[in-house]
């Protein structure tokens, strides 16, 4: 027997209704803010991610699915969504004016240790906004994120955290100050941080191994912002206050790479263990230039769909049920009559599950019950000959006989979907 690969899974039909619900909420909210979907390829050149995500990041060093195709090109499965969006923006930027708002959703791939809610094929959705550089855009994007969390019913379980990462003007001097401080506490840092102290000192701040008290005493970016960055941060805070969006400043939130500027934000959930961010975003004003395009400010976020689904009420996006179940008690002509009726009803917009595997009335009614359809249409020899049907309401057990012509109108009435054009 061939099984799924370790760390990946099927999303069975019983669960896919919840995914559709989440995706539909996301599409609706994205559209409300003017975002349109960009669909990028699942695989890209390796260097796209080594430049965009960073040569020394865990993702690029250890987690990418890299392969050579038959032409000898070094390719990989996409581990995240932003890099492809930026590539697409640069490839087509001459043909369009700013701002450019795009959203995406779909599978991403990382070779990580599988655990609860974390898979090697996982799913993200996100938005990217190219052009605007002021805090207005950052605030709008956070409002979008919180609105989506509200739509799927988990806003109260989630806290918005924000920080400023400074800019090339103020980050250099801050980094020196931080490095000096880290050297003075070198022996108290974990082995990993001791190694990256000079290469990437900022990442020490979000290391989960360190003593929280030690981290609290570190010099913080927020106290070393230049005038421009301070004004940007205050502007953002002002917008969040005006919109009454709840937030918390987290001075230890960092990003490891130079092209992240100013705003960083996360939506953090309780009860998800160390993987507690359901959304992560911020400004990456330096990334388009880093990737070879004309310098363009940009802000974006990504959300892990598996984590969102873990937090969502299990009742949301219940399995899809048919409008009616078609019971076919007979063979040959009865089945042909049933098939024809089912198609006629589908043409009228109804969802119909037809019984295809024979068996007696009793067992077919059992299937009808399991389908959760509110109505059953029962066909036998008599009905086929007279072109009539027996319509049964599953909840009350009430039955009525009627002609095939009147069936659709009656079904629509019982489902509460009548309109002028479908009067009985
Ligand atoms: Zn600055
Ligand atoms: Zn550490």
Q: What is the pLDDT of residue 271?
A: 66
The CATH number of the domain holding residue 403 is 3.40.50.800
Ligand with smallest separation from the Cα of 182? 2
pLDDT above 80 for 258: no
Could you tell me if 79 and 118 lie in one domain?
yes
Q: What is the pLDDT of residue 419?
A: 60
Question: Model pTM?
Answer: 0.87
Could you tell me if 245 and 389 lie in one domain?
no
Q: Is residue 3 part of a domain?
A: no
Q: Is residue 318 part of a domain?
A: no
Could you tell me if 50 and 111 lie in one domain?
yes
pLDDT above 90 for 165: yes
265 CA → ligand 1 middle, Å: 17
Closest-CA residue to 259 (of 218, 293, 208): 293
233 CA → ligand 1 middle, Å: 10
Task: Kindly state the average pLDDT of the residues 231-241.
Answer: 98
Could you tell me if 271 and 350 lie in one domain?
no
Q: Is residue 183 part of a domain?
A: no
- What's the CA gap between 344 and 8, in Å, rounded? 40
Using alpha carbons only, how large is the chain's radius of gyration in Å? 28
Could you tell me if 123 and 265 lie in one domain?
yes
183 CA → ligand 2 middle, Å: 13
294 CA → ligand 2 middle, Å: 36
Ligand with smallest separation from the Cα of 214? 2
Return the structure tokens found at 58: 């865990």
Give tens-digit pLDDT for 364-409: 999 999 999 999 999 999 999 999 999 999 999 999 999 999 999 9
Strand partners, 299: 129, 283
Return the half-sphere exposure (C-beta side, CA atoms, 13 A cut-off) of residue 315. Answer: 1
Ligand with smallest separation from the Cα of 206? 2
Q: Is residue 94 part of a domain?
A: yes
209 CA → ligand 2 middle, Å: 5
Task: Kindly state the average pLDDT of the residues 140-162.
Answer: 94
Ligand with smallest separation from the Cα of 200? 2
**135 touches 118 (CB < 8 A):** no
113 CA → ligand 2 middle, Å: 20
Q: In which band, very low, low, confident or very high, does the pLDDT at 362 lie, cut at 50, 70 and 90?
A: very high
- What's the CA gap between 82 and 42, in Å, rounded? 13
Q: What is the pLDDT of residue 203?
A: 83
- What's the CA gap between 298 and 120, in Å, rounded? 28
* Parent domain of 73: 13-167+226-311
206 CA → ligand 2 middle, Å: 8
Cβ neighbours, 10 Å, residue 202 = 21
Could you tell me if 155 and 232 lie in one domain?
yes
Ligand with smallest separation from the Cα of 193? 2
Give tens-digit pLDDT for 199-229: 788 888 888 888 888 888 889 999 999 999 9
Q: In which band, very low, low, confident or very high, does the pLDDT at 60 lie, cut at 50, 70 and 90?
A: confident
**126 touches 300 (CB < 8 A):** yes
Average pLDDT score, the chain:
91
Closest-CA residue to 228 (of 175, 164, 139): 164
Beta strands at 388-393 and 277-283: parallel, antiparallel or unpaired: unpaired
226 CA → ligand 1 middle, Å: 4
Ligand with smallest separation from the Cα of 205? 2
Q: What is the pLDDT of residue 424?
A: 43
Q: In which band, very low, low, confident or very high, does the pLDDT at 315 lie, cut at 50, 70 and 90?
A: low
- Which residue, of 276, 311, 346, is where some domain finishes? 311
What phi-psi label fits residue 361: left (phi over 0), alpha (psi between -120 and 50 degrees) or beta? Answer: alpha
CA–CA distances in Å: residue 283 to residues 96, 97, 360: 21, 20, 64
Q: What percent of the chain has pLDDT over 70?
A: 96
Q: What is the pLDDT of residue 272?
A: 65
Could you give the number of structural domains in the chain?
2
Q: Is residue 176 part of a domain?
A: no
Beta strands at 324-328 and 352-354: parallel, antiparallel or unpaired: parallel
Closest-CA residue to 89 (of 79, 78, 101, 80): 101
pLDDT: is 129 or 359 the higher one? 129
pLDDT above 70 for 341: yes
Q: Is residue 258 part of a domain?
A: yes
205 CA → ligand 2 middle, Å: 8
pLDDT above 70 for 95: yes
Q: Is residue 260 part of a domain?
A: yes
Q: Is residue 262 part of a domain?
A: yes
pLDDT: is 317 or 209 the higher one? 209
Number of residues that make up the chain: 424
Could you tell me if 374 and 259 lie in one domain?
no
pLDDT above 60 for 422: no
Would you state the torsion angle of the CA atoms of residues 40, 45, 46, 49, taken in this order, to the nearest 10 degrees?
A: -40
Ligand with smallest separation from the Cα of 221? 1
Could you tell me if 120 and 25 lie in one domain?
yes
Could you tell me if 88 and 162 lie in one domain?
yes
pLDDT: is 206 or 25 the higher one? 25
Distance, first Cα to last Cα, the chain:
53
220 CA → ligand 2 middle, Å: 17
**Cross-sheet strand order for the sheet of 298-304:** 36-37, 100-109, 121-130, 298-304, 277-283, 261-269, 158-164, 248-249
Q: In which band, very low, low, confident or very high, does the pLDDT at 273 lie, cut at 50, 70 and 90?
A: low
180 by Cβ neighbours in 10 Å (0-12 / 13-18 / 19+) ranks as exposed
Could you tell me if 301 and 344 lie in one domain?
no
- If DSSP states are collapsed to H, E and C, what string results for the chain? CCCCCCCCCCCCHHHHHHHHHHHHHHHHHHHHCCCEECCCCCEEEHHHHHHHHHCCCHHHHHHCCEEECCCCCEEEECCCCHHHHHHHHHHHHHHCCCCEEEEEEEEEECCCCCECCECCEEEEEEEEEECCCCHHHHHHHHHHHHHHHHHCCCHHHEEEEEEECCCHHHHHHHHHHHHHHHHHCHHHCCHHHHHHCCCCHHHHHHCCCCCHHHHHCCCCHHHHCCHHHHHHHHHHHHHHHHCCCCCEECCCCCCCCCCCEEEEEEEEECCCCCCCEEEEEEECCCHHHHCCCCCCCEEEEEEEHHHHHHHCCCCCCCCCCCCEEEEECCCCHHHHHHHHHHHHHHHCCCCEEECCCCCCHHHHHHHHHHCCCCEEEEECHHHHHHCEEEEEECCCCCEEEEEHHHHHHHHHHHCCCCCHHHCC
Q: What is the pLDDT of residue 423?
A: 45
Backbone angles phi, psi at 163, to 5 degrees: -160, 165
179 CA → ligand 1 middle, Å: 18
Could you tell me if 243 and 286 lie in one domain?
yes
Range of weakest confidence among 99-113, 313-327, 344-358? 313-327
What angle, rounded to 10 degrees, do the helices at 227-242 and 168-184 form?
A: 100
Q: Which residues surround ligand 1, an ion (CB under 5 A)?
A: 166-167, 169-170, 226, 229
Could you tell me if 274 and 142 lie in one domain?
yes
The CATH number of the domain holding residue 266 is 3.30.930.10
């Amino acid at each position: 027997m061939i099984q799924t690969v370790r760390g990946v899974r099927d999303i069975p039909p019983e669960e896919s209704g919840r995914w559709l619900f989440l995706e539909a909420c996301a599409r609706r909210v994205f559209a409300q803010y003017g975002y349109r979907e960009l669909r990028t390829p699942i695989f890209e050149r390796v260097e796209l991610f080594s430049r965009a995500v960073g040569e020394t990041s865990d993702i690029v060093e250890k987690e990418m699915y890299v392969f050579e195709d038959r032409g000898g090109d070094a390719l990989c499965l996409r581990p995240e969504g932003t890099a492809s969006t930026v590539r697409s923006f640069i490839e087509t930027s001459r043909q369009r004016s700013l701002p450019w708002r795009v959203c995406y959703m779909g599978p991403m791939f990382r070779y990580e240790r599988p655990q609860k809610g974390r898979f090697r094929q996982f799913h993200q959705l996100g938005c990217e906004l190219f052009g605007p550089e002021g805090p207005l855009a950052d605030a709008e994007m956070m409002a979008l994120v919180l609105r989506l969390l509200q739509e799927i019913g988990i806003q109260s379980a989630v806290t918005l955290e924000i920080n400023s990462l400074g800019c090339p003007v103020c980050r250099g001097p801050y980094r020196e100050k931080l490095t000096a401080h880290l050297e003075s506490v070198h022996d108290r840092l974990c082995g990993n941080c001791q190694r990256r102290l000079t290469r990437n000192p900022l990442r020490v701040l979000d290391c989960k191994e360190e003593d929280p008290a030690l981290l609290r005493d570190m010099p913080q970016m927020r106290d070393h912002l230049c005038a421009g960055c301070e004004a940007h941060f205050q502007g953002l805070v002002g917008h969040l206050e005006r919109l009454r969006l709840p937030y918390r400043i987290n001075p230890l939130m960092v990003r490891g790479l130079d092209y992240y500027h100013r705003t960083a934000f996360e939506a953090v959930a309780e009860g998800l263990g160390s993987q507690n961010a359901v959304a992560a975003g911020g400004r990456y004003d330096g990334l388009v230039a880093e990737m070879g395009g004309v310098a363009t400010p940009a802000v974006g976020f990504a959300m892990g769909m598996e984590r969102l689904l873990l937090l969502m009420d299990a009742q949301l996006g219940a399995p899809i049920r048919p409008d009616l179940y078609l019971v076919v008690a007979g063979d040959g002509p009865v089945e042909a009559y049933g098939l024809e009726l089912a198609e006629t009803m589908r043409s009228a917009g109804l969802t119909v599950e037809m019984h295809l595997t024979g068996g007696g009335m009793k067992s077919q009614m059992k299937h009808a019950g399991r389908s959760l359809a509110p109505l059953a249409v029962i066909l036998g020899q008599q009905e086929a000959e007279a072109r009539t049907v027996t319509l049964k309401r599953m909840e009350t057990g009430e039955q009525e006989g009627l002609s095939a012509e009147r069936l659709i109108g009656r079904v629509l009435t019982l489902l509460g979907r009548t309109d002028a054009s479908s009067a009985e």
